[in-house]
Amino acid sequence: MNQIETLLGRISVILLRPKYPENIGSAARAAHNMGVERLVVIGAPLAPEAMEQARKTATHNAAHLLEGLRYSDSLTAVTDDYALLVGTTARLGRQRMPMAAPAEVAELIVPTLAHGPVALLFGPEDKGLSNEDLACCGLVTTIQTAAHFASINLAQAVAILCYELYQGLLRMEGLAAQGLYRPRAASREELASMFQVAGKVLRGLDQLSGGDLAETRLRHLRQVAQRCVLRAREAKLLKDTCRQVQRVLAANDE
């Protein structure tokens, strides 16, 4: 197990009195996708029928989180288990604790994981966390949404927070850019070959039109390519296009 997996193992998602078992399953799936494997429900254990509903939205990938689901009667009964409890809320107000965006909170959480477990706390779908609940938290975050949308789905909130934490851990290890597909930029040789073919086409067009714009157009094309940093695939596409135009021009000369 590498360091990132070890630190992810110290993160828990706590759902405070969730109303719908489907949301528990969706939250489990969202957490699992980001490497968070601990799920806690504050409230009564799920009845068999409710558990089955939760399994459907968790899918088989995250079903094991439901099997290992931990229950507690109250939030205060579990707060001492964590070095840091992070509350989430959509409601803003003077009486609320200072809040930060998920990415900012993640940067504060990551160092804490080296010293102990951390929990992300999410309130009921209809009311969210109360001021009393938030008083138990060391940090509070809010997910900003566009106008007219006061809050987002519970599972979406879990996904966003877990994603930001995972990205924070990757940045800590210097791995944030790894695993992402980054197209290769065209080499100097590839660009030279493309410009050579493009030049022939532009000069051929000058011959047909009686113009004298080939070199000017070629210069502007070079400037555009330098500004936008052409990818290898794009350079090849332009070169192939120019060759096709060459063939059409040659056919018209016959």
C-alpha distance from residue 139 to each of 64, 106, 190 (Å)? 29, 10, 52
pLDDT on residue 175: 58
Sole residue written with tokens 């022939």: 200
Read off the pLDDT band of 98 (50, 70, 90).
Answer: low
Q: Is the predicted pLDDT of residue 57 greater than 90, yes or no? A: yes
Q: Is the predicted pLDDT of residue 119 greater than 90, yes or no? A: yes
Q: Is the predicted pLDDT of residue 59 greater than 70, yes or no? A: yes
Mean per-residue pLDDT of the chain: 86
C-alpha distance from residue 62 to each of 58, 128, 210 (Å)? 5, 24, 69
Q: Is the predicted pLDDT of residue 242 greater than 70, yes or no? A: yes
Which CATH code for domain 3-173?
A: 3.40.1280.10
pLDDT digits (tens, 9 = 90+) for 63-97: 999 999 999 999 999 998 998 899 988 765 544 55
Cβ-based neighbour number of residue 29 at 10 Å: 21
**What does the H/E/C string look like for 194-250?**
HHHHHHHHHHHHHHHHCCCCHHHHHHHHHHHHHHHCCEHHHHHHHHHHHHHHHHHHH
Query: Which of 38-52, 100-114, 164-178 reaches the highest mean pLDDT?
Result: 38-52
- Domains of the chain, by residue range, sit at 3-173, 188-253
pLDDT on residue 49: 95
What is the token pair recorded at 246?
A: 């060459």
pLDDT digits (tens, 9 = 90+) for 204-229: 888 888 888 889 988 888 887 766 66
pLDDT on residue 180: 53
Percent of the chain with pLDDT over 70: 89
Q: What pTM was estimated for this model as a whole?
A: 0.70
pLDDT on residue 77: 92
pLDDT digits (tens, 9 = 90+) for 7-42: 999 999 999 999 999 999 999 999 999 999 999 999
End-to-end CA distance of the chain: 69
pLDDT on residue 8: 93
How much is the average pLDDT of 232-239? 90
